[in-house]
Structure 1
Amino acid sequence: MGTYRQIFYHIVFGTKHRKPTINENNESELYKYIWGILKNKKCKLYRINGMPDHIHIFCDLHPNINLSNLVKDIKVANNLWMKESALFPEFVGWQEGYGAFTSSMRDKERIINYIKNQKEHHKTETFEDEFKKLLTEHGIEPEQTLN
């Protein structure tokens, strides 16, 4: 019998000091690059989007992959590529921590739509408020936020 799994993660992380350094004209290049990293690790990307100061990734985690290593690999590879590509001249790096929230099949479409509509949400909500809301929704005390 084969191995079956369904491990959805909604991963969120910000730029260093939450500075708006992800150039919106080139963000799709960045998203393609992250998609490539996920594919190489046998993880399926369902949706990626973000704002100049943070990124949301909704993906399936391959059972052989450790979540913290995946996030670290995405950040390290991106950090290098973003600086070398010269597409993001303002970019200095990513913040240390990240948020990662598991979800069920039932929530899949809702999360995909939420990520798809990032630009809309952030007309009225800051990244900080959004992140606090995500923590609260998942039963995590907001004072444990990441710097």
Structure 2
Amino acid sequence: MSTFRQIYYQIVFSTKHRMPVLNIEYEDYLYRYIGGIVKNKNCKLYKINGMPDHIHLFTDLHPSVSLSSFVKDIKVSSNLWIKQSGLFPDFEEWQTGYGAFTYSEREKEMIINYIENQKEHHQNASFEVEYKDLLKSHGVEFDEKYLW
């Protein structure tokens, strides 16, 4: 019997200390690089976007890939690429940890649109507010002292 799955994740992670160091003029290069990592893991990237201090990915996971190793590979590889590229000179590293939230097929287009419209969304809400809302809406208990 074949393996069947449908596992959609929205993955969110930020720069160290949430510093706004991801220059918007070069973000497409970073997003394409991360897209290549996702593809090399036999996963599909539906949308990637972000702000100068954080990134959202909407992707599926191949059954052979664990979520933690997937995010680790993205963060480690992109960290090295960012430093070698010189495009983001103030970037130190990614902040420890990440958020990962699952979605159904019904929610797919909504999440793609949400990620696509990050710049507009953040005119009204900070990353801190957005992240807490994501945690709350997914029923994730958290202690604020460990968020930042």
Smaller-chain TM-score range? over 0.9
Amino acid at match of 1:35: G
State the shift of 1:4 in Å: 1.6
- Report the equivalent of 1:139: 139
Where in structure 1 do 4 or more consecutive aligned residues deviate above 3 Å? none
- Report the equivalent of 2:107: 107
- When normalised by structure 1's length, the TM-score is 0.97
- Report the equivalent of 2:29: 29
State the shift of 1:3 in Å: 1.8
- Report the equivalent of 1:62: 62
Q: Retained in 2: the 8 A contact 1:98–1:146?
A: no
- Could you tell me how far apart the structure 1 residues matched to 2:142 and 2:64 are? 30
State the shift of 1:146 in Å: 2.9
Aligned to 2:25, the other structure's residue is in SS state coil
Amino acid at match of 1:132: K
CA RMSD, Structure 1 to Structure 2 (Å): 1.0
Identity between Structure 1 and Structure 2 (%): 63
- Report the equivalent of 1:75: 75
- Could you tell me how far apart the structure 2 residues matched to 1:115 and 1:2 are? 32
Amino acid at match of 1:146: L
Aligned to 2:9, the other structure's residue is in SS state strand
Q: Retained in 2: the 8 A contact 1:97–1:146?
A: no
- Could you tell me how far apart the structure 1 residues matched to 2:14 and 2:7 are? 23
Unaligned runs of 5+ in 1: none
Unaligned runs of 5+ in 2: none
- When normalised by structure 2's length, the TM-score is 0.96
Residue deviations 1:33-58, cap 9 Å, x none? 00000000000000000000000000
* Residue 116 of structure 1 pairs with residue 113 of structure 2: no
State the shift of 1:2 in Å: 2.4
